[in-house]
Structure 1
Amino acid sequence: MRASVRDGEGQKYALTSDEDDSDFWGSAHEAEGLFTPLPHEDGARRVHLEGCLPQGGLLKSVGHVGRRRAMAGNASLALLDGEGATMGSYFVNELTVVDVEPSIRGTGLVDLTVTLWCDNALPGAERAWDLVRTGHLNRTGMWHDLTPEDRRAWLSVALWSREYQRRGRPDAPAGQVFALDGRHVVDRDSFYCAIGEAVNGPGGYFGWNLDALDDCLFGGWGATAPFTLLWNSSAEARARLVERLPVGDREVALFDLLLEIFEERGVSVVLQ
Structure 2
Amino acid sequence: MIPTVHVDRDHRGRRRYTLTDAGSGHVWGVCAEAEGLFREPRRDTYELFDWVPDGADVHGRVGSRVWLVPEDGPRAAWLLEDAESLGQHPGTDNLVLTGLNDYEGPPEGHRAPVRLHDGYRWLGSCREFARVLPPGQAEPPLVLRGLAPSDRLRQALATGTRRTLDLEELWLEIRDDRGEPLTDRLLRPEVRTWQPSSRGADLIDLELDGYLAPVPGYARPIWERWLVGPPETPGAWAALDTRQRGAWLDLVRERGCRLEHQDRQAGQAYELDGRHITDEPGLYLALGEAVNGPGGYFGGCPDALVDCLRGGFGYSAPATLVWRDAAPAREYLSCVLAPEGEEYDLVALVIEVLTEGGMHVTFT
TM-score category, normalised to shorter length = 0.7 to 0.9
1:149 aligns with 2:153: no
- Secondary structure at 2:168 match in 1: strand
Q: Aligned in 2, Cα 1:44/1:266: closer, same or farther, shift over 3 Å? A: farther
Counting only pairs closer than 5 Å after superposition, residues 77-88 of structure 1 correspond to structure 2 as 77-82=172-177, 85-88=179-182
* 1:52 Cα deviation after fit: 0.8
Q: Check if 1:268 corresponds to 2:357.
A: no
Of the candidates 37, 40, 43, which is equivalent to residue 37 of structure 1? 40
- Give the residue type in structure 1 aligned to 2:168: G
Q: State yes or no: 1:46 paired with 2:138.
A: no
Give the 3 Å change call, closer, same or farther, for CA 13–264 of structure 1 in structure 2. Answer: same
Greater relative CO (CA pairs within 8 A, separation 6+): 2
The 1:148–1:107 alpha-carbon spacing in structure 2 relative to 1, beyond 3 Å, is same
Return the offset for 1:64.
7.1
CA contact 1:13–1:31 (8 Å) conserved in 2 = yes
CA–CA distance in structure 2, aligned partners of residues 80 and 187 of structure 1: 28
Q: Where does residue 93 of structure 1 map in the other structure?
A: 187
Q: Determine the structure 2 residue equivalent to 1:241.
A: 333
Matches of residues 143-182 of structure 1 in structure 2 within 5 Å? 143-162=237-256, 168-182=260-274
* 1:204 Cα deviation after fit: 0.7
Q: Deviations over 1:189-225 (max 9, x none)?
A: 1111111111111111111122111111111111112
- 2:293 pairs, out of 201, 205, 210, with 201
User: Which protein has the larger Cα radius of gyration, Structure 1 or Structure 2?
Assistant: 2
SS at match of 1:172: coil
Distance in 1 separating the partners of 2:146 and 2:357: 49
Q: Quote the RMSD (CA, aligned, Å).
A: 3.1
| Aligned residue number for residue 190 of structure 1 | 282
Cα contact 2:166–2:189 (8 A) shared by 1? yes
Aligned-pair CA distance for 1:266: 1.8
| 1:73-118 Cα shifts (integer Å, max 9, x gaps) | 21222223446x4524424131222122321100121111213434
Cα distance, 1:152 vs. partner?
1.7
1:18 aligns with 2:113: no
Residue 183 (structure 1) shift:
0.8
On the 8 A contact 1:45/1:116 being kept in 2, the answer is no
Q: Provide TM-score, normalisation by structure 1.
A: 0.81
Counterpart contact for 1:35–1:123, Cα < 8 Å: yes
Q: Match for 2:18: what amino acid?
A: A
Distance of 1:116 and 1:207 partners within structure 2 = 32
Q: CA deviation at 1:67?
A: 4.1
Q: Give the Cα–Cα distance (whole angstroms) in 2 for the partners of residues 178 and 120 of structure 1.
A: 36
CA separation in 1, counterparts of 2:180 and 2:140?
22
2:31 matched to 1:28? Answer: yes
- CA deviation string 1:113-152 (max 9, x = no partner): 2134345967666545554554462111111122222212
Alpha-carbon distance, 1:15 to partner = 1.3
Structure 2 unmatched ranges of 5 or more: 1-12, 44-135
* SS of structure 2 residue aligned to 1:178: strand
CA distance in structure 2 between the partners assigned to 1:42 and 1:182 by the alignment: 45
Amino acid in structure 2 at the alignment position of 1:79: I
- The aligned residue for residue 4 of structure 1 is none
Q: Which residue of structure 2 aligns with residue 216 of structure 1?
A: 308
Name the count of aligned residue pairs: 258
* TM-score, length of structure 2 as denominator length: 0.62
Counterpart of 1:70? 165
Correspondence 1:102 to 2:102: no
- 1:232 to 2:236 alignment: no
AA paired with 1:178?
A: Y
Query: Sequence identity, in percent?
Result: 34
Contact residue 12 and residue 30 of structure 1 kept, 8 A: yes
SS at match of 1:53: strand
